[in-house]
Amino acid sequence: MRELRERPAGTIRITAGDHAIQSILWPKVAKFLPNYPDIRVEIIVDYGLTDIAAERYDAGVRWGEQVAKDMIAVRIGPDVRFAVVGTKSYFAKRPPPKTPQDLINHSCINLWLPTYGGLYAWEFERGGRELRVRVEGQLVFNNIFQALDAALAGFGLAYVPEDLALPYLAKGRLRRVLEEWCAPWSGYHLYYPSRRQSSAAFTLLVDALRYRSSK
């Protein structure tokens, strides 16, 4: 009975975007859970900057720059770069953009984010100069994977995490532009209220998710 009482148990609810879940969160949770059969993890896809306390989540995942200062933030992934990509067939019809401002003359696949009140403005940086460009096109998604699929189908340019684009770039299915304008972002962080009383189960999961550089 004492052993049962001391086994970590409980439900942990986490909100994150689909890319964070697929690339970081799920691979680590899949390795963690078999060792702790009494811990249950609920992972909910949400592109908004959710108020985790109001929505009764235990934690959320965001880019490092987006974590509020009253939260504890734990890095769970490496720095991430984004890539602007399109197919050869698309670029056969339009010259590739030389600067982010040139994107206004291109058909771009938009991402809808509730927190931003609508369409996400693509973010660029070069030599300390930061730019946000509001692009236009025929398609809008609220899912980064669908935006990538639309780019692969030749519907325009997509702005996606580099790791999603690399396999298609290697095969020649996509071409990358504006690479010099795509600076690294501080990677995904798990965040939760500083006043939170951490259970044994939550503490174990946070440690399992923590990013450990291979360097």
Is 154 found in the same domain as 109?
Answer: yes
Is 171 found in the same domain as 93?
Answer: yes
Cα separations in angstroms, 96 against 34, 129, 168: 48, 21, 18
pLDDT tens-place string over residues 74-122:
999 999 999 999 999 999 999 999 999 999 999 999 999 876 568 999 9
Q: In whole angstroms, what is the distance from residue 129 CA to residue 108 CA?
A: 22
Is 99 found in the same domain as 172?
Answer: yes
Q: In DSSP terms, which residues pair with 185 in a beta bridge?
A: 80
Is 157 found in the same domain as 97?
Answer: yes
Mean pLDDT over all residues of the chain? Answer: 91
Residues 48-83: b if buried by 16+ CB within 10 A, e if exposed: ebbebeeeebbbbbbbbeebeeebbbbbbbeebebb
Is 171 found in the same domain as 110?
Answer: yes
Neighbours of 123 (CB within 10 A): 17
Q: In whole angstroms, what is the distance from residue 197 CA to residue 199 CA?
A: 7
- For residue 128 the two structure tokens come to 């300390």
Range 165-168 contact pairs with CB under 8 angstroms and sequence separation of 24 or more: 165/83, 165/85, 168/85
* Confidence at residue 71, expressed as pLDDT on a 0 to 100 scale: 86
> Residues 108, 134: contact at Cβ < 8 Å?
no
> Residues 169, 138: contact at Cβ < 8 Å?
no
Residues of the chain predicted below pLDDT 50? 1-3
Is 171 found in the same domain as 126?
Answer: yes
- Tell me, what CATH number does 119's domain have? 3.40.190.10
- pTM as predicted: 0.89
Is 67 found in the same domain as 46?
Answer: yes
Is 118 found in the same domain as 46?
Answer: no
The residue range of the domain holding 46 is 2-78+186-209
Q: Tell me how long the chain is.
A: 215
Does residue 111 sit within a domain?
Answer: yes
* Confidence at residue 124, expressed as pLDDT on a 0 to 100 scale: 97
Biggest CA-to-CA distance, the chain: 71
Q: What is the identity of the amino acid at 86?
A: G
Does residue 147 sit within a domain?
Answer: yes
Is 203 found in the same domain as 174?
Answer: no
The total of structural domains in the chain comes to 2
Is 142 found in the same domain as 119?
Answer: yes
* Confidence at residue 1, expressed as pLDDT on a 0 to 100 scale: 43
- For residue 168 the two structure tokens come to 């298609």
Does residue 214 sit within a domain?
Answer: no
